Amino acid sequence: MPIQPGDTLPDIELQLMGAKGPEKVRTRDLFAGKKAVLFAVPGAFTPTCSAAHLPGFVVNADKLRAKGVDAIVCTSVNDAFVMDAWGKAHNAEEIIMLADGLGEFAKTLDLTQDRTANGMGIRSQRYAMIVNDGKVELLHVDAQGLDKTSAETILEALQ
């Protein structure tokens, strides 16, 4: 069963791009004491993810922060180099680009999808959640499109 509102995020080691290359970060530390929006995409540089999902959070970063969000985090089953390049290509300086290179975070959340028919392997589902001090307050998953997981939808959900 996928993670649910009320559950605590699993403590998984992932990667961020640092000044000297990829750096390890634990989800426990990344989300501790913060109100965060965490959204996941099936793949960096893929059409919907690049044309709408990430750009929506970039454009609305200030509005999210105005509603009390301390961190906006994007994750994908890609390595830290790809996530960093994708973030730079979309001027996503306000977004923490979190690499789930082995898909362990997506698997532990039970939010994976099989894209082997498209040559992509096991990927994350498209989701967005509000996390408060590591605990999931809201989770939306989109099987297709961005109706439930867009920045605009998350903005509306924030109290």
pLDDT tens digits for 108-150? Answer: 999 999 888 887 889 999 999 999 999 999 999 998 889 999 9
- List the domain range (segments joined by +) for residue 22: 13-157
pLDDT tens sequence across 61-90: 999 999 999 999 999 999 999 999 999 999
**pLDDT exceeds cutoff 80 at 159:** no
Q: What CATH number corresponds to the domain at position 78?
A: 3.40.30.10
Residue 2 in domain: no
Catalytically active residues, by annotation: 49
Banded model confidence at residue 5, pLDDT cuts 50, 70, 90: very high
Q: Is 134 left (phi over 0), alpha (psi -120 to 50) or beta?
A: left
pLDDT tens sequence across 30-69: 999 999 999 999 999 988 889 899 999 999 999 999 999 9
pLDDT of residue 96: 98
Residue 36 in domain: yes
Q: Degrees (nearest 5) of the Cα angle 103, 108, 110?
A: 95
pLDDT of residue 119: 78
Residue 132 in domain: yes
Q: Which residue has the tokens 């939306």?
A: 140
DSSP string, 34-78: -EEEEEE-S-TT-HHIIIIIHHHHHHTHHHHHHTT--EEEEEESS
For residue 95, the surrounding DSSP H or E stretch is strand 95-99
Banded model confidence at residue 2, pLDDT cuts 50, 70, 90: very high
Residue 8 in domain: no
Q: Is 6 left (phi over 0), alpha (psi -120 to 50) or beta?
A: left
Residue 52 in domain: yes
Q: How far is CA 57 from the centre of its chain?
A: 10
Residue 7 in domain: no
pLDDT of residue 121: 82
Beta bridge partners of 21: 18
Residue 4 in domain: no
- Measured CA to CA in angstroms, residue 110 lies from 50, 52, 62, 95, 133 at distances of 24, 24, 30, 24, 20
Residue 3 in domain: no
> The tokens of 93 are what?
């300086």
Amino acid letter at 126?
Answer: R
Could you give the number of structural domains in the chain? 1
